[in-house]
Amino acid sequence: MPRHETTRLRHDTRRRTLTVASIEPLGASMRRLVFTAPELADFVSAAPDDHIKLFFPMPDGGTAMRDFTPRRFDRAACALTIDFALHEAGPATAWAAAAQVGDRLDIGGPRGSVVVPDDFDWYLLIGDETALPAIGRRVEEARPAVPVITLAVVNGTADEQQFASAADWRGHWVHRAGVGTDDAALLLAALGAITLPQGEGYIWIAAETNVARALRHDVETRLGHPRAWLKAAGYWTRGHADAPDKTLDG
């Protein structure tokens, strides 16, 4: 296979009903839930930034669908870990905040995976809380000793996370608390202070749509990074309850 060739996979999708097996707080504003079900025996998630649909019951009897990242999957145990950010009101936050062991939830997908090869000389991963599940998974799954740099904006030190990894991981955190809510300005300033390794690197960005777009522009113009070795995605859009996750266009 040629160096740095991305692979796109399609998966058979079906709806599965999962049961909450364990719950733990994750920092000050996230909650980690582990789900189990025999139906997970043939579940496939081939990339750290895969997305699945979660179906949340609404008081009116309807259903709200939201995209989430499979944080970790243990095939032997048929256990799927999902991290929920509890930073804004909505059906996903309300359900996750009230969830108890034994509760059930339906999921669908992932429909496909975009597999980035682990043959780059280094990796830079940038995002906000919504990106942390994908960032953490990629750090943990990276090959031994490869330089992986992460840059994430969170409210404060209580929201920072640690990842167990064989990679040469360097985590950079910026805090919005007491500074403001302009994530783009905070991340751009921090990015400007980072010295990237030599060689060919892959840069991954996920955050609020306008923040991700500003970061992508900086990476392409100031750093001159090739677009083929860059992915930027808007995981949410300010003012919209359910903006789709997508790679930014234009």
Q: What is the pTM of this model?
A: 0.94
Which is it for the CA torsion 177, 236, 192, 145, positive or negative? positive
The angle subtended at Cα 135 by Cα 213 and Cα 153, nearest 5°, is 60
Burial (CB < 10 A; 0-12, 13-18, 19+), residue 114, is middle
Which domains, ranges and CATH numbers included, belong to the chain? 7-112 (2.40.30.10), 118-247 (3.40.50.80)
Burial (CB < 10 A; 0-12, 13-18, 19+), residue 84, is buried
Q: pLDDT 10s digit of each residue in the chain, 250 long?
A: 568 999 999 998 899 999 999 999 998 889 999 999 999 999 999 999 999 999 999 988 899 999 999 999 999 999 999 999 987 678 999 999 999 999 999 999 999 999 999 999 999 999 999 999 999 999 999 999 999 999 999 999 999 999 999 999 999 999 998 666 799 999 999 999 999 999 999 999 999 999 999 999 999 999 999 999 999 999 998 876 665 555 665 4
Q: Where are the beta strands (DSSP E) in the chain?
A: 7-10, 15-26, 30-36, 52-57, 63-68, 72-74, 79-85, 104-108, 112-115, 122-127, 147-154, 168-175, 201-208, 230-236, 246-247
